[in-house]
Amino acid sequence: MPRSALITGITGQDGAYLAQLLLKKGYEVHGLMARRGSDTLWRLRELGIEPDVRLVNGDMIDLSSLIRALERSAAEEVYNLAAQSFVATSWEQPLLTAQITGMSVANILEAVRQVNPRARFYQASTSEMFGLAGTGRQDENTPFHPRSPYGVSKLFGHWATVNYRESFGMHASSGILFNHESPLRGREFVTRKVTDAVARIKLGKQKALRLGNVDAGRDWGYAGDYVEAMWLMLQQTEPGDYVVATGRTTTVRDMCKLAFDRVGLNYEDHLVIDPNLYRPAEIDMLRGDPSKAKAKLGWAPRTSLEELIAMMVEADLKRVARE
Ligand code: NAP
Ligand code: GDP
């Protein structure tokens, strides 16, 4: 019998890569899909796995649908990736973010506890929980100081996961993942906004790229590498919390330069700073220390930022040329 997994957020960037990874490993892959007015399956199609995953209708705020999804899938591994995941939106819709990104983690934990408390559970936590962490490297012992309603909501999900592990002995793990990107990243996030603009500017379809704070630094990795860490966490005898990062920080400005250089353009000729894109509170710098993941999971990032940006620019050049 193949092992069965349920992925919430299967239509998102990480959900698609994780589904691909689990299918390769021989899992029966189920995914929770929220009802939307427009098509959300493009990522699964781009990876060529849409026919291979089993989609269950449901929504993170509807406990009954989560119970049904767990019963139907008979999942032994549950990956909770669903969220309102865009930081900027979380200031405009803080209550919705709190409900979907925060409270819903309690919904899925409760559903797992009721349907199959022995199932292994993964929570998609984030470096945004560290927030105002200073200039050092963040690891599993760094204090949290979130800087957005998104970060605050994720902190609830993180502690709910730790609490269900401690209260009920559930195999519940929290992956504190630093920013990870790919050609399947949403266009609202800065890396994809940049690589999409680079492709459009190169092909004569756009002139300028408007960005906010380009001095912010992020520890960017490749989503394809990071989903392996999620799987590894659930294969451990004991559950735990793990920082997943590259340990290298690059500013938005330098990432931009990398992307424009790739197609032989000077970013300074196209970049326009738009103060409207500054955030009410910023995280100036993030840099993770993935030593624990390396030591315990044997995980290490395989893709450099240069390779990642090259991959994203190539994909966007092809997409824009097809339009
Ligand atoms: P994403 O592309 O924004 O995907 C989010 C997923 O959640 C989508 O499938 C979305 O479905 C689903 N979703 C949203 N609201 C829902 C609801 N009410 N009910 C059911 N599903 C819902 O995010 P991602 O980049 O793959 O990230 C995956 C997870 O990791 C998220 O929890 C994110 O916050 C977290 N994380 C991401 C990063 C990163 O750098 N990517 C870093 C740390 C943590 P639709 O397609 O229908 O909207
Ligand atoms: P985040 O780290 O989860 O908020 O990921 P984002 O990709 O949305 O943002 C990364 C950094 O880029 C943040 O410090 C943003 O303030 C900065 N940034 C600067 N300009 C932009 C922009 O136009 N869009 C986005 N999304 N971020 C920007």
> Per-residue pLDDT averaged across 79-105, rounded?
98
| Ligand showing the shortest atom-to-Cα distance for residue 154 | 1
The DSSP code sequence of 44-57 is HHHTT-GGGSEEEE
What is the reported pLDDT for 146? Answer: 98
* CA of residue 9 to ligand 1 center, whole Å: 5
Q: Is 126 annotated as catalytic?
A: yes
> Per-residue pLDDT averaged across 251-256, rounded?
98
What is the reported pLDDT for 99? Answer: 98
Q: DSSP code of 215?
A: T
* CA dihedral angle for residue 49, residue 51, residue 52, residue 53, rounded to 10 degrees: 90
Is the pLDDT at 8 greater than 90? The verdict is yes
284 lines ligand 2 (CB under 6 A): no
279 lines ligand 2 (CB under 6 A): yes
Q: How many beta carbons lie within 10 A of that of residue 138, not counting itself?
A: 24
What is the reported pLDDT for 1? Answer: 86
pLDDT digits (tens, 9 = 90+) for 11-65: 999 999 999 999 999 999 999 999 999 999 999 999 999 999 999 999 999 999 9
The average confidence (pLDDT) of the chain is 98
13 lines ligand 1 (CB under 6 A): yes
Q: State the pLDDT confidence band at 222, using cuts at 50, 70 and 90.
A: very high
* CA of residue 112 to ligand 2 center, whole Å: 34
What is the reported pLDDT for 133? Answer: 83
* CA of residue 278 to ligand 2 center, whole Å: 9
124 lines ligand 1 (CB under 6 A): yes
For residues 307 and 29, what is the distance between their CA atoms, to the nearest angstrom?
A: 29
pLDDT digits (tens, 9 = 90+) for 109-148: 999 999 999 999 999 999 999 999 877 999 999 999 999 9
In the block, tokens 């103060």 appear at 275
Is the pLDDT at 292 greater than 80? The verdict is yes
Q: Is 128 annotated as catalytic?
A: yes
Nearest protein CA to atom 23 of ligand 2, as residue: 211
User: Which domains can be identified in the chain, with CATH numbers?
Assistant: 4-180+221-244 (3.40.50.720), 185-219+248-285+303-322 (3.90.25.10)
Catalytic residue among 77, 128, 181, 228: 128
Q: How many beta carbons lie within 10 A of that of residue 59, not counting itself?
A: 18
For residues 314 and 311, what is the distance between their CA atoms, to the nearest angstrom?
A: 5
Instruction: Specify the range with the lowest mean pLDDT, choosing from 43-52, 91-100, 132-141, 166-175.
Output: 132-141
Backbone angle region of 298, left / alpha / beta, with phi > 0 → left and psi within -120 to 50 → alpha: left
> Per-residue pLDDT averaged across 314-318, rounded?
98
Q: State the pLDDT confidence band at 77, using cuts at 50, 70 and 90.
A: very high
Q: Is 303 annotated as catalytic?
A: no
Closest among 102, 99, 81, 109 to 9, alpha carbons compared: 81
